[in-house]
Amino acid sequence: MDFTAILHWFEIESEKMITNLNMVITIAIIALIGWVAYFIVRRWLAKIIVRVAGKVESKWEGLLFDRQFFQRLVLLIVPVVIRSACASIAWQCPAAIVKIVSVWIVFASVMLFSSILDGVNRIYCSYPVSKDRPIKVFLQVIVILLYLGAIMVAIQIFTGKDMTALFAGLTAFAAVLMLVFKDTILGLVAGVQLAANDMLHIGDWIVMPSCNADGDVMEIGLTTVKVQNFDKTITTIPTYKLVEQSFTNWRGMEESGGRRIKRSVNIDVNSIHHLADEELSNLRTSLLLSEYIAQKEAELSEFNANRGSLLDGRRLTNIGLFREYMETWLKNNPNINIKMTCMVRQLQPGPTGLPLEIYCFSARQKWVEYEQVQSDVFDHLYAVMKLFSLRAFQYSGTMPPPSA
């Protein structure tokens, strides 16, 4: 038996065992340091930061520091502590652990900075200007660039290659990146166009039938725009579709000071006639019509002076006087914006009678108030119509409507 060979074998195995034992002890010490750092930071650091921030007279700390911020701060401090411990350990720390911790620090830093940018966006959204000039799209672009940079740094840490060589090799994957980040790139360009052309603000009421969207804009992001419909559902629209396809933005109506009322009532043509003296005497009592009737009678008397027949002359009609009354009534209605177009006009008559259209703008723009104003107008119209001996057209029970 060769005792020298056996002794040599024991020496080799002992060295391997010592090396493995050192590695296990090193990993255990690193894990213990990381756990202690996590416990201390998670339990005490957040309280310290909140207490210090609370002494500053500002509302920003509540918007800037949220739960996500502290969680990511913990994820950064723990690997920093582990990395420092690795550098101070008497025996050599495994290179793989050092690389993993270094990559951890890189991505944790990006995540923490991303959380800070979210806080900056929340602070910015607390000001009215954020509805006209949202910055979330641009902050998302910054975050994407940071993550791309972090990936490049991580590749450099694991491969040990120079960044210049990595950037040179990245050009070979440009086409693949264009496909992967197609929506992001289109969203970025669309976001810039929307902001530059002032096409969309948070809070705008938009209608986009192609995407079944009809409601208020909740959020404008890099790749999507969220719209809360009036039935409280939420529609998510790709940002680039707002540039590619047409949509209606009702912001112009809200800024104009009026909301259009455009509705007609069909008059039974059999009820249209010249006004008799008795009917005129009743209508003269209206303060809205008395001056107009007197002026119109003087004008018609002068016109009819040289006409021998009633057929050749001009007379007041109930439909004409009704139009004048409704137009004057609208202009005296405080809920109607008289600085905008206001008229009562006839449309092309058809099988359902003569359409008499109310065209004006409500001074109340909110949906419920607007509908109330519009209903009040037509409530009054239908109620006073009979005083002018006019009838609204409607099908009788024995007369079926004409086929389409």
Instruction: Note the pLDDT tens digit of each residue in 268-305.
Output: 999 999 988 888 888 988 899 989 998 988 888 888 77
In the predicted model, is pLDDT for residue 123 greater than 90? no
For the stretch 366-375, pLDDT in tens is 889 999 999 9
For the chain, give the mean pLDDT: 79
pLDDT of residue 326: 95
Burial class (CB in 10 A: 0-12, 13-18, 19+), 393: middle
Task: Give the number of other CB atoms < 10 A from CB of residue 224.
Answer: 17
CA 22 – CA 39 distance, rounded (Å): 25
Four-residue CA torsion sign, 335, 341, 342, 345: negative
Statement: the pTM of the whole predicted model exceeds 0.75: no
Contact status, residue 237 vs residue 224, Cβ threshold 8 Å = yes
Instruction: Give the torsion sign (CA, 163, 166, 170, 172).
Output: positive
Give the pLDDT of residue 172: 57
What's the pLDDT tens digit per position in 187-245? 777 877 777 677 888 888 899 998 899 999 988 877 889 999 988 999 999 888 888 88
DSSP string across 353-371: BEEEEEEEEES--SHHHHH
Specify the pLDDT at position 98: 76
For residue 404, is pLDDT > 50? no
Q: Please determine, for residue 57, whether its predicted confidence score (pLDDT) is greater than 70.
A: no
CA pseudo-torsion sign 230, 232, 237, 239: positive
* pLDDT, average across residues 52-70: 56
pLDDT at 323: 94
Q: What is the mean pLDDT of residues 133-158?
A: 79
**What distance in Å separates the CA atoms of residue 245 and residue 380, rounded to the nearest whole number?**
41
Report, as an integer, the average pLDDT of 87-101: 68
Evaluate if residue 131 carries a pLDDT over 80.
no
Asked if 354 contacts 254 with a C-beta cutoff of 8 angstroms, the reply is no
Lowest-confidence pick of 23-37, 96-110, 206-220, 293-307: 23-37
- 154 pLDDT tier (thresholds 50, 70, 90): confident
Name the region of 91 (left: φ>0; alpha: ψ -120 to 50; beta: rest).
beta
pLDDT for residue 389: 92
Among 7-21, 89-103, 160-174, which stretch is predicted with the lowest mean pLDDT? 7-21
Q: How far apart are CA 221 and CA 240, in angstroms?
A: 11
Q: If you average pLDDT over residues 144-172, what whole number do you get?
A: 73
pLDDT at 92 over 70: no
Higher pLDDT, 172 or 293: 293
| Average pLDDT of the segment spanning 12-29 | 63
- Stretch among 111-125, 250-264, 273-287, 314-328 having the lowest mean pLDDT: 111-125
- Helices marked H in 224-339: 241-244, 251-256, 277-283, 290-304, 318-331
Q: Which residue has the higher pLDDT, 148 or 17?
A: 148
| Kind of pairing between the strands at 224-229 and 248-249 | unpaired
Q: Cα(42)–Cα(366) distance, rounded to whole angstroms?
A: 48
Start-to-end C-alpha separation, the chain: 113
Task: Note the pLDDT of residue 149.
Answer: 82
So what's the pLDDT on residue 110? 86
- Quick check: 50 pLDDT over 60? no
